[in-house]
Structure 1
């Protein structure tokens, strides 16, 4: 993590995401810009957290560890997501590991400041409640998917949650670590490879050494049943 001393950038992000509708006098609040590189862990599960983070640039994923040592995928977060809301309200350690999928920029506001000056701010509390309820909704969806959906359904949801438009070539997932994806989806490397091989034979996706490319997004949409990890 790198702290960015850039008042112009900070002011621009506060304006872009309408922080003035949540806080009064945003220009004098002790906000801190924090930059994370792709792959960097923002929060480790079980550690203490001291600041609320607003994701204003990039994409992160939330995972939860299980007794086997694997991690289950909970959701992907995009701006403007709040990280640390449960920890702020419940006074508990970090509940999920948060990892930067791309380079990310966050605006941090210390818990101490919030406890002292913002807990009677109805606009802040309303915004916090909105994010908490959305997080509950997505966690419920992720639990249902992880418990009830087939690996094929889960993989389709994962692909559609993680890929980005790539001009005329459809959608592409830049990854070679199938084992990590298998862990996130709660399955084995071998089972996921069978699913990938089947989808390739059906012409739904195409796999190279460096990437998985979506060839038939409509079929994946039907398989995912409209469910996303986000």
Structure 2
């Protein structure tokens, strides 16, 4: 979640008014800062949560691995005061996702005890968390639903079209293996689907970048895909 209020919240006007006070109080819960190198885990799946991590600027990726070794990539985030570990903080469970620094970055470390005391004294600050977590939940559920209910071809085509139409919070990867994991598949299957879309004249590839040639044709393909 982001520290600042989400624009789509029902309470965004109220939260924007309260935000300067909330941000100041939240930063009083900071215990220290820590530098993470590119590729280093900020949070590890199965780890007991000891702090919250606030990334003011920098790119991170999130993934989850199964016992069989398969991995699902949620995507890459260009952080703008993003908080990580907040879900586990409220549920008091071990970390569900691996959060990995995509570049070197300074991360602010938030003390859980101090935050707990703050929220007990200022329960109105809970609204920042509940609104942000609700928005993130809906975005994540939309991704999971598409991955579960549609084919790999549909999901890759839809993702390319969606990214050509609007800016998205979760970015794609320039490595085929990681991009394939974003769709819950293998590099071989991902390459085959992209090759098929290229042969249909819907997209083109320049280096590691895939570009949509005809958005209308791609949308028609998506709408009529069986």
- Structure-1 separation of matches of 2:100 and 2:162: 15
Q: Which residue of 1 aligns with 2:54?
A: 54
Q: Which residue of 2 aligns with 1:69?
A: 69
Using the TM superposition, give the Cα deviation of residue 55 of structure 1 relative to its aligned residue in structure 2, in angstroms.
Answer: 2.6
Contact conserved, 1:35 with 1:105, CA < 8 A, in 2? yes
> Secondary structure of 2:148's partner?
helix
Q: TM-score if structure 2 supplies the norm length? A: 0.70
Unaligned segments of structure 2, at least 5 residues:
1-17, 165-170
**Shift in alpha-carbon separation, 1:132–1:66, aligned structure 2, 3 A:** same
**Shift in alpha-carbon separation, 1:199–1:79, aligned structure 2, 3 A:** same
1:131-142 paired onto structure 2 within 5 Å: 131-142=132-143
Q: Which residue of 2 aligns with 1:13?
A: none
Q: Which residue of 2 aligns with 1:186?
A: 184
Q: Which has the higher contact order (CA 8 A, sep 6+)?
A: 2
Q: Please list the CA deviations of residues 178-225 of structure 1 after superposition, one character each: whole Å capped at 9, or x if unmatched.
A: 2332233112322211111122223443335x5123143735973778
RMSD over aligned Cα atoms: 3.4
> Secondary structure of 1:69's partner?
coil
Q: Which residue of 2 aligns with 1:167?
A: none
After superposing the two structures, state which structure 1 stretch, 96-105 or 212-221, moved more. 212-221
Name which of 169, 194, 197 aligns with 1:196: 194
1:1-230 paired onto structure 2 within 5 Å: 20-24=20-24, 28-77=28-77, 78-156=79-157, 158-159=159-160, 175=174, 177-207=175-205, 210-216=207-213, 218=215, 222=219
Using the TM superposition, give the Cα deviation of residue 76 of structure 1 relative to its aligned residue in structure 2, in angstroms.
Answer: 4.1
Q: How many residues align?
A: 199
